[in-house]
Amino acid sequence: MKIAKSVHKIVLMLDKKAVSFGEEVEGLIKQAGPGFAFHDTMEEDGETEKSAPGKEPRSRAAHKAHHIMGSEEDQLGRGLQREKDQWLVLDGSLGKDLHSWKDVPQFFGVTKSFSREPLFKLPGARGGRVVNLCELLSNLPFSARTCAFSARSGKVVVWYVRLREQRHLDYPLMGVVKVEFPNPTGDAVPSELIDELSRALISERQVTPHGKDVRWHAHLYPIYLAEQAVKAGFVSTEALRAGLKWPVQAVPQLGIGGVSHG
């Protein structure tokens, strides 16, 4: 296993208008080099406004950070050089942007943690029957997959794969991953392709980082290694604080008055 490509940036997010020195901070960050970036949390980007309407700073900052990471993932995924028979597996759900990658061949998303709320309609007599997620997965055998279901108006195909036997697990949803396959045309996806992808996922299940990650039961070997590579590039809070240089001598003396409440 080797790292094909890695992108590492330190991004400072700040509401420039909330402080008097916002413009100066932005200028300094832009001079720091390609590994650093500055983003105004209140600047419109066409996406944050949809997911975090209003002006609440923390909410906007969180959604903007997610949007920035999504943009980096977009560029990285499109730039990877692959052979014709190689698939790109994304760690997580296909976002509203990713499922429409019409010019990116052969990719899908795998989710270790997923919502328990969806309901599923299974084929059968009298129009079939509707089951919840626990009912769908409780009797799913080891190394088997569920039916494939249509989602997002047919633009995404979803199914679940059991990676581990239930005898060593606490509840039916453990040991299962959710697969999201882009389907922009809305046409039926061949069962042979779904089976092939499911078999490939099952063959990568033996990383077993038990005790190191609460999601050990649903981890895939290459995704676990990718997460470790990403975490290795993180900068600790202590290192960031040590790198901040505040011109303490330039701060004027302030007189503070207040009211004491007994």
Judge if 128 and 195 occupy the same domain. Answer: yes
Judge if 107 and 210 occupy the same domain. Answer: yes
Q: Give 145's DSSP letter.
A: B
CB-based contacts of 26, cutoff 8 Å, min separation 6: 14, 16, 38, 40
Judge if 92 and 206 occupy the same domain. Answer: yes
Judge if 95 and 29 occupy the same domain. Answer: no
205 within some domain: yes
Of 19, 47, 79, which residue is a domain's last?
Answer: 79
Of 26, 58, 79, which residue is a domain's last?
Answer: 79
256 within some domain: no
Which strands form 176-182's sheet, in the order they lie side by side? 88-91, 107-111, 176-182, 156-162, 149-151
257 within some domain: no
How remote is the C-alpha of 121 from its chain's centroid? Answer: 27
Q: Provide the residue range defining the domain that includes 108.
A: 84-236
Of 60, 79, 98, which residue is a domain's last?
Answer: 79
248 within some domain: no
pLDDT tens sequence for the chain (262 residues)? 788 888 888 888 888 888 888 888 888 888 887 788 888 887 777 666 665 556 677 777 888 888 888 888 888 888 888 888 899 999 888 877 777 787 888 999 999 989 888 899 888 777 778 999 999 998 999 999 999 999 888 899 999 999 998 887 888 889 999 999 999 888 899 999 999 999 999 999 888 777 788 888 999 999 988 888 888 878 777 877 776 665 544 434 333 333 333 3
252 within some domain: no
pLDDT at 107: 92
246 within some domain: no
- Find out whether 102 and 78 touch, Cβ atoms under 8 Å: no
Judge if 113 and 206 occupy the same domain. Answer: yes
Judge if 14 and 112 occupy the same domain. Answer: no
123 within some domain: yes
Nearest-10 Cα torsion for 165, 171, 174, 179: 100
Judge if 88 and 69 occupy the same domain. Answer: no
Judge if 29 and 92 occupy the same domain. Answer: no
CB-based contacts of 221, cutoff 8 Å, min separation 6: 204, 205, 206, 207
Judge if 228 and 148 occupy the same domain. Answer: yes
Total structural domains within the chain: 2
Judge if 105 and 202 occupy the same domain. Answer: yes
Judge if 108 and 125 occupy the same domain. Answer: yes
The pTM is what?
A: 0.79
Tokens of 55: 């002006």
Sequence-distant contacts of 120-126: CB under 8 A, at least 24 apart: 120/146, 120/147, 120/149, 122/147, 123/147
Query: For strand 149-151 and strand 36-40, is the pairing parallel, antiparallel, or unpaired?
Result: unpaired
101 within some domain: yes
Judge if 102 and 137 occupy the same domain. Answer: yes
Q: Residue holding tokens 């069962």?
A: 191
- 113 strand-pairing partners: none
